[in-house]
A and B are shown apart, each in its own frame.
Chain A
Amino acid sequence: MITKKIKYIAFSFCLSFGFISCQSDDLSINSEDRVVDYLKKYDEILKDGEGKWLMEYFPNEEQYGGFLLMMEFSENKKVRIYPENMLCGDLENGYSESLYQLKADQGPVLSFDTYNKVLHSFCDPSPDGKGYEGDYEFIFQSVTSDSIWVKGKKRGYKMLLRKLGNEESWTKINDAREIVANSFPGFTMRLNVGENIIMMNESSDIGRYLTFEIDQDIEFSKDGMAYTYTEKGLSFRSSIIINGKQIKDFSLSSDGEKLISDNDPLIYIDNMPLGEAFVKKSNVWYWNENKASSRLGTLWSRSVTNIFEQENEELLLAAFRSRSRSFLIYSYSNVEKVTYPAIFYMDYKTTDNPDELVVLFEYGGDDMARFFYMKYMESFLSSISSEDPYILSYDNSKFPAELTLRHSANPERFWFTLERQ
């Protein structure tokens, strides 16, 4: 009986070893070899044909939104990256060349590990230690011969690379994208859902993130979304559900006036009048004393001189903040070596004419404005203030960088040009 038991144990023991050795061998042979094989295979896929891939690239997406880049992979681990027009304007030949590597890290990783002026401009930490917070190392998520999903190693954003066919040209794609970007700036964009108009506010800086001001009657699954200008229109980072319909991609209408949802023709993006955009959208318009009528320029200079002579402070900048209805100044104290902000309350109103704007000084402000700077700024702000509207004109009717306000009752005596930075 004991002998039988021992035989049984011996048999099981050997059997289990046999299995263990088989199993562990399979695993050990396959796992490392598999990664090396994958890296080689992925590299071949990247370089296949002309090696051109279109990437929807997202740095910190909730602040800066998305960008189209074209990547061209070739032998000797070289990659050329082509940016959108607004980025890296001084590039010779329109691209930046650097090296890439495929390496085993947290799975197979695509690493752009020497400096590329296009890609790494999104990752450079200057000047605040953060920069645009983009990634340049990507973990492969899924790979086919015509599409690759990767995930940023540091931020974790998923991004798509789409293989470009030989007949597809980056110049054509980028030019088409540029037309859409110029025609639908975040500054004036609004979303139409049937009869309802949804305000969309840009994020700061590059601004390709929109926050929706949602009416309670409309069902929205998200209150904000990053977007990318594409060759055919505009693409949200991911789908949102508006009134039960999944909305992600928009295409330019035949007349170029709208971006219409691919899923519902009643949902589209168009532009609001510029005067309305000034009042309703969050923007900062900077005062420039060299771009004002002599009367307003003199009043401004007097304010600056008085602050300097009486307080030993230098006025660094002044700006009209449209949506928060205020006028902001920053003043630097040469004595305390500190910069002080002060906010004066204003009101900006539209009229029936889309090219008109009423600017009113409310004679109030935060504590710093009321108790310290009011006596210096009051005469200047009162002179600007008027119930009679200003006539607006823009240097670029679609994407203005300068806005000139000319008083309707006295256009030569009262005018000034504001700048958007």
Chain B
Amino acid sequence: MMNKIIYILLMAFSVCLFSGCNEEELSGSNFDTSSPQRNEFDKWLLENYVKEYNIEFKYHFDDSEGDFSYNLIPAEMGKSEQMAFIVKKLWLESYDELFDPTGRNKDFMRSHAPKIIQLIGSSAINSSSGTEVLGTAEGGIKVLLYKVNSVDPTNIDLLNEYYFGTMHHEFAHILHQKKNYPVEFNEITSGDYSSTGWQNRTLEQSWKLGFVSSYGGMSCQEDFVEIIANYLIKPKEYWNNMLEKAGENGRSKIEEKFDIVKEWLFTAWEIDIDQLKEIIDRRSEELEIILKDGDYDY
């Protein structure tokens, strides 16, 4: 008798449960599944970023992507269109070309590039210190590009300074987090890394200690990626001038570290950094002409 009751109870419970499930199924998705309205630029982004690279290029302001403690404003549509074009030509397609001169194979950037690029119109100004942030990247997933409304997108040097330095820097972090670089790199300037003191060094002081930038003196990993980013975006003359002003000690350390970086990029990722730099330099020149002529699809 007891077993019968338990059996009935279980049956009743199951019926209630399943009837609940069935109702859930009938109600469909809890999210709005209707297709979003897309303007021409949205359609271009869908084809050129989402389908080609699986990257969401966000030009509408979305405070969930930024730091809400700052006062930030959205990016201008016109500037967003230019930036989308420039980032694709100068960053994504440079790597594509390195791996496949035809540019058709986009697997490398599709696999490794950050998945979200968010544009923001203003810089992130810290009102108490007066400092401003121009670009950040979070865990290899997301890149935030600030101050889009006030940059001249035809000034490639400025764009390198503001954005592409950060993008190459963060991208290099993604690469070394996936495949370790040789630990001997960490030994070369091991005595001079300072997590707080780097801010007090001038650029020339940093060079003399064997760092390509002051920020590189913060830690070995930052040093590692700063070498890649600076080598890729700075003109050859800048690099040579830095080596000259670094003195014998600084120069030999920078060169020793650069050799390790170069070899690791090639053996671990098949990236020839000199070839990549040539591609970026050439594309920068071409892009400058395209942008000045205004002859681009976005």
B-binding residues in A (CB < 8 A): 3, 6-7, 10, 13-14, 17-18, 20-21, 24-25, 28-29, 32, 36, 76-77, 98-99, 101, 111-115, 120, 123-131, 133, 136-137, 154
Contacts and interface: CB of A to CB of B under 8 A. Distances in A.
A10 B126 contact: no
Interface stretch (B23-31, B162-170, B191-199): B23-31
B63 interface: yes
B71 A114 contact: no
Interface string B18-62: 011001100100111000010100000000000000000001111
Given A113-B62, A115-B75, A128-B127, 8 more contacts: A29-B27, A115-B77, A120-B121, A124-B121, A125-B71, A125-B122, A126-B125, A129-B125
Contacts of A76: 37, 39
A21 B73 contact: no
In this complex, which of B39, B61, B130 has the most chain A Cβ atoms within 10 angstroms of its Cβ?
B61
Contact of A130 (B19, B123, B127): B127
B127 A124 contact: no
Contacts of A124: 73, 121-122
Nearest to A115: B76
B63 to A, nearest CB: 7
Contacts of B59: 114
Given A25-B27, A115-B149, A13 B76 contact: no
Which secondary structure dominates chain B's binding surface? loop
B80 to A, nearest CB: 7
Contact of B73 (A18, A77, A136): A136
Interface residues of B, number: 43
Contacts of A14: 12-13, 16
10 contacts: A25-B20, A32-B31, A32-B32, A111-B60, A120-B74, A120-B121, A125-B73, A128-B125, A129-B126, A130-B127
Contacts of B19: 21
The 6 closest A-B pairs by CB, nearest first: A129-B127, A129-B125, A17-B16, A21-B20, A125-B71, A115-B76
A173 to B, nearest CB: 27
B24 A129 contact: no
A131 B71 contact: yes
A33 to B, nearest CB: 8
Contacts of A28: 24, 27, 30
A42 to B, nearest CB: 14
A99 B60 contact: yes
A18 B125 contact: no
Interface stretch (B1-9, B179-187, B234-242, B287-295): B1-9
B108 to A, nearest CB: 32
Contact of A115 (B8, B16, B20, B74): B74
B174 interface: no
A339 B80 CA distance: 40
Given A32-B31, A36-B32, A136-B74, A3 B13 contact: no
Nearest to B19: A21
Contacts, number: 107
B77 A99 contact: yes
A395 B5 CA distance: 98
Nearest to A21: B20
A129 B61 contact: no
B266 interface: no
Contact of B61 (A13, A21, A113, A128): A113
Given A6-B5, A14-B13, A125 B27 contact: no
B74 A10 contact: no
A209 to B, nearest CB: 20
B284 to A, nearest CB: 27
A272 B121 CA distance: 43
B126 A114 contact: no
Contacts of A3: 1, 5
Contact of A126 (B27, B61, B75, B122): B122
A17 B127 CA distance: 55
Interface string B119-153: 00111011110100000000000000000010000
B296 interface: no
Interface in B57-106: 59-63, 68, 70-77, 80
Given A14-B13, A21-B23, A133 B71 contact: yes
Contacts of A101: 60
Nearest to B64: A105
A11 to B, nearest CB: 9
A339 to B, nearest CB: 15
Nearest to A137: B63
B37 to A, nearest CB: 6
A114 B74 contact: yes
Contact of A10 (B5, B62, B122, B123): B5
B75 A114 contact: yes
Interface in B224-254: none
Nearest to B71: A125
Contacts of A126: 122, 125
A14 B71 CA distance: 54
Contacts of A133: 71
Given A113-B60, A115-B77, A125-B125, A13 B9 contact: yes
A10 B77 contact: no
Contacts of B60: 99, 101, 111, 113-114
A127 B126 CA distance: 10
B41 to A, nearest CB: 10
Contacts of B32: 32, 36
A151 to B, nearest CB: 15
Contact of A13 (B13, B30, B62): B13
